[in-house]
Structure 1
């Protein structure tokens, strides 16, 4: 039994929002602001990219950005432009972003660091235990 793949956000706004929550953080761990990201995108491309426009994309008020806007966001968040489209690569990236977000939790990070030294059998046992607990808590569908 394995955990089901994390859901890929279905809208562009949800995908961008996930990047803000998980992909890049400020030194203190806080999410970047629309202004910080828009400014970095402007500096990288030399083209117009406003914080208001980014806010519109994040909230779904605008949902048809230009190719250069998507490329600029992909560059800033260090993901391929394919992340913004529904496909297998987008699903893999969504899983990786979920992992990055989880590793920010000190408890999760501690478990992962301790598991690094375990044998394959030990890892299998831990995986089985996590699966059983998650099932009990209703987080894994049968």
Structure 2
């Protein structure tokens, strides 16, 4: 049986594999209103982008775009999907940027403990020196 102790199905049977690349393709296609222009912006062939979006639509079980000779536009379900996809992509970008900054030591939390009797007059100067680093 594919159930965990919590009673939920494992991720292998519960969630399809949607990739960040597919989400980016869909969002960029929506922004351009054209698979051709979106493919150019993504530096891929149009057939590659179209296939990526078709696979994504198959995974979510509904059309994300209405297709016509004039271009594409999101369906009602597609608008909802794209709103969430944009949020997920923003979070993924923030995750990468924050992790990169943490790895360089650019961000983080610094806790300083001190005894006032030992730092009288020197704490302010020390903190100002630290800030300039």
TM-score of the aligned structures, taking structure 2 as reference length: 0.30
Which has the larger strand fraction? Answer: 2
- Which is greater in Rg? 2
Q: Comparing both chains, which one has the higher relative contact order based on Cα–Cα distances under 8 Å and sequence gaps of 6 or more?
A: 1
TM-score of the aligned structures, taking structure 1 as reference length: 0.28
